[in-house]
């Protein structure tokens, strides 16, 4: 089967790479953190000494890194993916970055005859582990078809949403909805607790009605228990809200609720909670309500 190079073996990347190994792909991985490389090796993957070796050994290269700057560095840098690529290679960026950066990378790749897709994901760590991610793909239809066997291993919902950058645009919308939903669930929990309601029972009935959503299903139990280990860090959601607010301004679209939630996430991060799961918005609601726990 195709050899897949996987750059970025963090909370999301490691289980995604592991699922490819389980599906029979030969995976060559690389991360700046040696401990992460060791996890891949223990799962049956091969560790490259750097980007150049990884690209040389792979037919398809995937990146799952932190932000736009990281993608630009690893893809466009002097010692990056494109610099060591060969015509016909497929490069799939699955990070969450700005649509502008995704288009810039795809444009740069044309000079190298490298096929590029932006394919960010939603579903968090649990979805990465389960192989049930939702994957929104931007790029040429033929390239999406070529990548689909790989993407189908990683996600349960794989949809081609348009040209280069479209995947990142849809991901920005996803992050807007997720942040807003977490904030409303947090507010509802603090509201219910203030009245002494059985919150577990309340969450169960809310999840079964029109208010039902994936946050209630997957995140509410941890929120009730005040367990905020990531997951998906506040730091990363802060980055994503910066992407969506900037893109909305560029398009002339007003997102008043989204902008307010972006500020709440920024406030929580400024208090030193950037390493917590994004459901830690609950902590800020408690503080603003004068109900902060010791």
Over residues 190-203, the pLDDT tens digits come to 999 999 999 999 99
| Chain mean pLDDT for the chain | 97
Q: Give the mean pLDDT of 214-226.
A: 96
What fold is seen in the domain 169-288? Answer: 1.10.1040
Catalytic residues: 171
Residue 169 structure tokens = 């645009």
What are the pLDDT digits (tens) for 236-293? 999 999 999 999 999 999 999 999 999 999 999 999 999 999 999 999 999 999 998 8
Q: How far apart are CA 260 and CA 239, in angstroms?
A: 15
Contacts of 35 (CB under 8 A, 6+ apart): none
Q: Give the mean pLDDT of 85-89.
A: 97
Judged against a pLDDT cut of 70, whether residue 1 lies above it is answered with no
Q: Give the mean pLDDT of 102-117.
A: 98
Q: Give the mean pLDDT of 99-105.
A: 97
In eight-state DSSP terms, residue 33 is: S
How high is the pLDDT of residue 200?
97
The strand pair at 121-122 and 133-138 is best described as: antiparallel
Q: Give the mean pLDDT of 95-99.
A: 96
How high is the pLDDT of residue 293?
81
How high is the pLDDT of residue 231?
85
169-288 and 3-164 share a CATH fold: no
Q: Residue 198's CB: how many other CB atoms inside 10 A?
A: 9
What fold is seen in the domain 3-164? Answer: Rossmann fold (3.40.50)
Q: How far apart are CA 75 and CA 91, in angstroms?
A: 9
Higher pLDDT, 8 or 2: 8
Residue ranges in 79-213 assigned as alpha helix (H): 99-110, 124-130, 141-154, 166-194, 199-207
The helix-helix angle for 13-22 and 34-42 (nearest 10°) equals 20
- Per-residue pLDDT band for 294 (boundaries 50, 70, 90) equals low
Domain ranges in the chain? 3-164, 169-288
The percent of residues in the chain predicted with pLDDT above 70, rounded, is 99
How high is the pLDDT of residue 13?
97
Contacts of 267 (CB under 8 A, 6+ apart): 284
CA nearest to 168, candidates 110, 73, 126, 176: 176
Q: How far apart are CA 178 and CA 174, in angstroms?
A: 6
Contacts of 226 (CB under 8 A, 6+ apart): 282, 293
What are the pLDDT digits (tens) for 141-179? 999 999 999 999 999 999 999 999 999 999 999 999 999
């Amino acid at each position: 089967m195709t050899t897949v190079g996987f750059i970025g073996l963090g909370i999301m990347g490691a289980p995604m790479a592991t699922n490819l190994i389980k599906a029979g792909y030969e995976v060559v991985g690389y991360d700046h953190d040696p401990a992460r490389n060791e996890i891949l090796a223990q799962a049956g993957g091969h560790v490259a000494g750097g980007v150049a070796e990884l690209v040389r050994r792979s037919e398809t290269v995937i990146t799952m890194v932190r932000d736009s700057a990281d993608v630009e560095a690893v893809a466009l840098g002097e010692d990056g993916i494109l610099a060591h690529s060969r015509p016909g290679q497929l490069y799939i960026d699955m990070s969450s970055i700005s649509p502008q950066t995704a288009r810039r990378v795809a444009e740069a790749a044309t000079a190298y005859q490298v096929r590029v897709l932006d394919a960010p994901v939603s579903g968090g760590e649990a979805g990465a582990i389960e192989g049930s991610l939702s994957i929104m793909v931007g790029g040429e239809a033929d390239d999406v078809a070529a990548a689909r066997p790989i993407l189908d291993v990683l996600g349960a919902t794989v949809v081609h949403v348009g040209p280069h950058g479209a995947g990142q645009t849809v991901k920005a919308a996803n992050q807007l909805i997720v942040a807003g939903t977490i904030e409303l669930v947090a507010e509802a929990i603090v509201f219910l607790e203030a009245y002494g309601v059985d919150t577990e029972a309340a969450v169960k009935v809310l999840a079964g009605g029109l208010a039902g959503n994936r946050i209630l299903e997957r995140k509410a139990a941890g929120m009730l228990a005040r367990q905020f280990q990531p997951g998906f860090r506040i730091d990363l959601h802060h980055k994503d809200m910066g992407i969506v607010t900037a893109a909305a301004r560029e398009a002339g679209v007003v997102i008043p609720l989204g902008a307010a939630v972006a500020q709440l996430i920024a406030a929580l991060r400024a208090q030193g909670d950037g390493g917590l799961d994004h459901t830690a918005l609950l902590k800020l609601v408690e503080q603003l309500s004068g109900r902060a726990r010791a």
